[in-house]
Amino acid sequence: MIELFQFDYSPYCIVQRRILEYSRQKFKIVDVPVGDRSVIWKLTRERYYQVPVLKDGREVLFETDDASQVIAKYIDGKFELGLFPREHEGVQSILWRFIENEVESATFRLNDIYYREFIPSKAIAGFVRHKERKFGRGCLEQWKEQQPELLQQLEKLTLPFEQMLHDRPFLLDQQPRFVDFDLFGMLGNFLFSGHYQLPSPHTRLAEWHGRMKKIKIPLLAREKLHS
């Protein structure tokens, strides 16, 4: 059985979790302690310490760079989900970089403001230390002060996706592709704390999000795969 090693609030883990749910395949969630990534270090033979990591039998998958999509491409290839069609290769590559840089830059800050609500108390010091080493001392307090501006920024950043949904149910065509799951993951991180809603002007984006929360690969496609 496939095992997904994750943090439940991580945008990148949400992406892979939703893809696995979409596939209708059985899989196991392994929640990694926030303050102790030794299980990841051991599993990857001291080559990686981030999440998500996917284990499928003897296969252990993790990302090789910031835009590799190793895990998603593995799941897509194994279960033939159609997430990376050739005709969308270039467009998806551009989009997922925008999603994982510009969009994620706003969403993770807005979520991290409420870190005390989802980080275990014994792991808070390590969490704050990690953030401040990367973004500067007092960054979490700064993001709290910048919350209104960050929300406005997110509304502007998600406007192109609202426009893309004008005449189709998903971002690129009539079925979800990888970038749909990628955007869903970043927004899932934004919504994780329960303190936010999607930008109210983006009604089509809200409808799309509702579809993305529930959609699974059609049973006929899965039966064909296993026939």
CA angle 33, 38, 41 (to 5 degrees): 125
Closest-CA residue to 108 (of 75, 84, 83, 130): 130
pLDDT over 70 (residue 149) = yes
At the second CATH level, the architecture of 2-79 is 3-Layer(aba) Sandwich (3.40)
d(C-alpha 119, C-alpha 76), whole Å: 31
pLDDT band at 219, cuts 50/70/90? confident
- What is the pLDDT at residue 227? 46
The domain made up of 87-214 is a member of CATH 1.20.1050.10: yes
Q: pLDDT per residue over 50-64, tens digit each? A: 999 999 999 999 999
Nearest to 17 by CA among 76, 27, 103: 27
- Backbone φ and ψ for 181, nearest 5 degrees, come out as -70, -35
C-alpha span between 101 and 172 (Å, rounded): 19
Taking residue 131's Cβ as centre, other Cβ atoms within 10 Å add up to 19
How far is the C-alpha of 164 from the C-alpha of 204, rounded, in Å?
A: 9
Percent of the chain surpassing pLDDT 90: 95
Straight-line distance from the first to the last Cα atom of the chain, in angstroms, rounded to the nearest whole number: 20
Helix/strand/coil for 173: coil
- pLDDT (average), residues 25-44: 96
Spatial distance between the Cα atoms of 86 and 78, rounded to a whole number of angstroms? 17
Alpha-carbon dihedral angle through residues 182, 33, 145, 151, given to the nearest 10 degrees: 20
Q: What is the mean pLDDT of residues 41-45?
A: 97
**Domain spans of the chain?**
2-79, 87-214
Residue with tokens 């999607």: 198
Task: Look up residue 210 and give its amino acid.
Answer: G
pLDDT surpasses 70 at 204: yes
Residue 102 banded pLDDT, cuts 50, 70, 90: very high
- Determine the pLDDT at residue 224: 53
